[in-house]
Amino acid sequence: MMNVAGIPGIAANLLLIFVTIQNNKLRGAANYLLALTAFFEILHQSSHFLFLFITVSGINFINYSTALQFQLHSIFGVTAAQTSMASTAADRLLSVLFPLKYNKINIRLYLSIHTILAFSSGIWMSINAINLSNKYPTLPVTGYISDLLVLDMEIMFQFIMLLCGINALLYLFVWIVQTMMEVFQSDTQSRLLKSLILIVSIVIGGYVINSICRMIINHFFNLNDIQIWSVNVFGGILLNIGAVNVRLVSYMSAKRMRSFSFFSLHFFCKECAHFSLMYGRSWHVEGKEK
141-174 pLDDT, tens digit per residue, is: 877 777 787 788 878 878 887 887 888 788 778 8
Q: Give Cα separations from 277 to 34, 132, 210, 242 (angstroms).
A: 20, 19, 12, 16
Q: What is the pLDDT of residue 260?
A: 45
Q: Among 3.10.20.30, 3.40.50.620, 3.40.50.300, 1.20.1070.10, what is the CATH number of 2-289?
A: 1.20.1070.10
Q: Which residues of the chain have pLDDT under 70?
A: 1-9, 24-26, 51, 55, 182-219, 225-290
Nearest to 73 by CA among 105, 103, 50, 106: 50
pLDDT of res. 246: 44
Q: Cα–Cα distance between 243 and 87 in angstroms, integer?
A: 21
Confidence at residue 200, expressed as pLDDT on a 0 to 100 scale:
62
The most distant pair of C-alpha atoms in the chain lies apart, rounded to whole Å, by 62
pLDDT, residue 201, reads 62
Locate the domains of the chain by residue range: 2-289
Report in angstroms the alpha-carbon separations of 267 from 64, 81, 136, 139, 226: 30, 11, 35, 33, 29
CA distance 93 to 109: 18
Gyration radius of the chain over CA positions: 19
